[in-house]
Structure formats: C-alpha cells, structure tokens
Amino acid sequence: MYLSKCIRFCLQQTARTVSKESPLWKRYSTAAVQPKIDTSFVGALKTIVGDANVSTADAIREQHGHDESHHAVAMPDVVVFAESVDHVSKVSKLCNDTKVPLIPFGSGTGLEGGVNALQGGVCLDVTKMDQIVQVNAEDFDCTVQPGVMRLGLNNYLRDTGLWFPIDPGADASVCGMCATSASGTNAVKYGTMRENVLNLQVVLPDGRVIDTAGRGRRTKKTSAGYNLTNLFLGSEGTLGTITEATVRLYGIPEKTISAVCHFNEVSEAVDTVVQILQCGIPMAKLEFLDDSAIDCFNRFCKYDMTVAHSLFLEFHGPAYGLEDQFQSVKELIEMNNGFGLKQASDADERNRLWKARHEMVWACTARIPGSKPYSTDVCVPITNLPEIITKTKQMVVEADVIGPMVGHVGDGNFHIFFPCDHSDTETFKKIKDISHKMAVMAMELNGTCTGEHGIGIGKRDLLVAEVGEETLGAMKQIKETFDPNNIMNPGKVFF
C-alpha cells in the first residue's frame, strides 16, 4: 500500500504533468543541446573518418532515426560510419567540444526508441567495426567489436562447440545488447548480459578510451576497483560508446529437449511456471504465449498451432538426467490441466517451434498493416506473475484491442506487443493506458517497468516512479560526471 502510494505520487509529479518551470524539471532534466551542424562541422567529421563515411542523405538519416519500436522517427543531422576506436574517440571529442549530440547506433533493433535522434546531431554507426577480435575457446570467452551480430557470432563459433546463449529474439549486435542490458529466452539458465560480460571497451564523451575491467582482463570474477562493466551495461548510450565487449561463452548442450503444451486458462499456465521454478528444475527456456499470440503467429506464418494459452519449454544439459527433468515438468503440466504436450523430436521441429516465438513481434504487427510494435516489458517476482498476467489479459480483452502476450515467464518478465498505428488515436490512447497501468501494477507488485528493453524515450517518467527521486538523483550524478555537456544520446533514460 505504501509502495503504491509512493509510485502514484511520483508519477503525478513527473514529466507527464511538470512544466519546465518546476523544480522537478530542473532537477532531472538536462537542458536541450543546441546542435551546431554546419558545413565546417561536417568537414571536420570527414577529416576524421573520410568523406565516404559521412552522410547527410535523407534516406540514410531516416534509416538511422528510429529503431523497431513505434516511436516517431527523429533523424540525426548527419550519420558517421566509424571504422576504428580512434574514429569513435575523435568524433566523440569533436561533438563534446562543440556540444553536438552523439547517438551510438548498432543494429537498430531496440524497442524503446533508444537511437532516435531527439535533438538531431551525429548518429555514430559502428557496424563497420565488425571483427571478432579473439575467441578463447578453452577459456569460454571471446571479444567482439560493435558490428558483430549475435547470430553471426554463433555461426562463427559453431566449429568450436561453443555458443553465446543470450537471445533477445532479434539479431541484435552483441555490444548493442550490452548497451540495453538485454536478455531474452535463455536467461532462465544463462542469465542476462549483466552476468555474461567480462570487460567492455568504452569511449567516453570526451574521447577517452577505457576498458572497464582493464585491457585484456577476462577472468570469471574480480574485486579490483569499481564495477564499471555493469555501470555501462544498460546505460543505453548515455554514458559513452561501447567499442568492444568480452563475453562469456558456453558449451553447446549435449542434449536439448524442446516441447510445447497448452492450457485453457492463463492462470493454469502461469501456476505451472511458478511450480516448475519453485521445484528448482533447471530449465533453459520457459516461455508463455497466450491464445492471441498463437493466433497472430498462425496467420503470419500460415501455421496451424493449437490456438490456446501455451508454454514453450526447453531443457539443456548432459543426456543423463534431462529426461527425468522433462518427466517432472510433465507431471506439473498435467496437475494444472495442461494438454497437448508435444516434444520436438529433432532440430528442425525445434527450430519451427522457436520460430513462432521469435517472429512474434512481426506476427503481431502484421495484424494491422503499417503498424509498428508498442511493446510493454514488465517483470515481477514469480509469485506475483499470476495476478499481473491475469489482470493484464482482462484489460486487453475489455479494451477490445489486439494485444498478444508473450513472455519470458521463467524470469517473471512478459510483454504485450500491441500493433500500433499512431493515426488511430483512439486505439493508441487505449494501448498507452494499458501499458501505463501494467507498469504501475508491476511496480506495486515489487516489479519493474522494464525487464530487458530499457527506458529509452517512453519510460522516463516510470523510471522516476520506480527507483524514487533520491536514486534517480544518484544516477543523474553519474551522467553529469561522465557527460557534463549532455551530448550522449540526450533525452534517453532521463528527461
């Protein structure tokens, strides 16, 4: 109750209602940067990275002015393609000296408008830096540049018997996944980016290049000084540009069992999840898709999966023991009236199953042509999952909007991917309202408004409500320390 009051109070106080005259605005907002993008500035950029690596073409700027979310395109004034850390360092210094906004750009697969250039400025595309710097197969680690994508890395690693398991669905860049502290379907077993990064090379706004754990460090643990690695993880490009990441790898599991089952009631599916976790069964994936999500997928991919609330399950491990784990889960499913349990017998069938999960964002938006995904991303302690999922489902049904629900319920995290068309203002209002209520409900249930997508543009007010004014103040102190001119991705995370 206390929590609830606090959250509601904070939300009332924050940006939804405050004017620029309010002391709250002054406390949390950072004054808008006045870009000075003229011919001489563009010339200076060209001197650093070469003519071919600078573009002011509309098409290129448009392409770099948005991610995969519904947020309106906000184009940078100029796009720069960096080919080296030295490029990144010099461009950063130039922007800092001239107080021009700088927005690092990787794969552009974010879902919170993290790359939209709200105040114009320079978009720094780092995808040309695409080398896998080293793979230490016997130590289970590798180092990659920011243009290396998750799937590309895993293709490269195949012969080593290793893989990088963090899987947010999209083929994001590994360094971009660092920037948003991504996770995804395998986090139940392998953790999120937070647990899997050993070192980051970061270019600070003033051009300094640091290695968060020290150059070349790649130990599983360390107590040497402040944990800068985890500070830059999830900082959404607001503190610096990540130019290299050393991440943990894992052995490809000896055996994998994938399965799907269905439920008539949402609560039965969620109760099953809670019980599986409480029994300590070491799942690799534990995903929920409601009937609406399955329906979207069937339409999108011309499949014929049973349209019902479903759990997608996966077990990784040595061959011994895995079948026993599966049997234990089977018992729990039956106890909760689950039906149609079907095991994927080979890799093809398994891939088909997970395709349904991974294409969900596009399957959802395909329901309304021209729409973009408006994604919610709440996460709660697992015992609070049944309540929030049931209430959310009810809100979606009552509002009569298309709102398929999918979730990494093994982590207490789930999404609704609303297909969103801004021109349909009535539906947009309904979506926004449900999204806001979900976030408030999550916070009241000891949860968070963002389990893995980040704050970006749309959740800045929720962040204040979630962490409180004092904690937000401490975060802002860090921002101001490293980026006193507020050039790094201005308008993200904080107002």
User: 234 to 263, contacts with a copy of itself by CB under 8 A?
Assistant: 234-235, 239, 250-251, 254
110 binds a copy of itself (CB under 8 A): no
| Binding characters for a copy of itself, 277-316, by CB under 8 A (x = yes) | xx-xx-----------------------------------
Closest CB 398 distance from a copy of itself, rounded Å: 26
Provide the token pair at 491.
């308008």
Residue 321 or 340 having the CB closest to a copy of itself: 321
Closest CB 175 distance from a copy of itself, rounded Å: 16
Closest CB 221 distance from a copy of itself, rounded Å: 5
Q: Is 225 exposed, middle or buried (0-12, 13-18, 19+ CB in 10 A)?
A: exposed
Phi, psi of 466 (to 5 degrees): -75, -45
Q: Which of 233, 293, 296, 332 binds a copy of itself (CB under 8 A)?
A: 233
| Binding characters for a copy of itself, 181-220, by CB under 8 A (x = yes) | xxx---x---xx-xx--------x---xxxxxxxxxxxxx
Closest CB 253 distance from a copy of itself, rounded Å: 8
Instruction: List, as one string, the DSSP characters of 452-475.
Output: SS--TTTTHHHHHHHH-HHHHHHH
Considering only CA atoms, which of 6, 104, 112, 92 is closest in space to residue 456?
112
- Contact set for a copy of itself, span 399-418 (CB under 8 A): 411-413
Closest CB 148 distance from a copy of itself, rounded Å: 20
Q: Are strands 405-408 and 285-289 parallel, antiparallel or unpaired?
A: antiparallel
- Contact set for a copy of itself, span 115-144 (CB under 8 A): 136, 138-141
Intra-chain end-to-end CA distance of the chain, in Å: 28
Q: Which of 19, 39, 223, 425 binds a copy of itself (CB under 8 A)?
A: 223
- Contact set for a copy of itself, span 353-392 (CB under 8 A): 377, 379-383
The answer to whether residues 436 and 315 touch, using CB atoms and an 8 Å cutoff, is: no
Helix axes 460-467, 2-13, angle to 10 degrees: 140
Other residues' Cβ atoms within 10 Å of the Cβ of residue 482: 18
The answer to whether residues 185 and 458 touch, using CB atoms and an 8 Å cutoff, is: no
Cα(49)–Cα(12) distance, rounded to whole angstroms?
46
For the chain, the residue count is: 495
- Contact set for a copy of itself, span 152-181 (CB under 8 A): 180-181
- Contact set for a copy of itself, span 439-478 (CB under 8 A): 443, 446-455, 459, 462-463, 466-468, 470-475, 477-478
Closest CB 279 distance from a copy of itself, rounded Å: 8
The answer to whether residues 127 and 153 touch, using CB atoms and an 8 Å cutoff, is: no
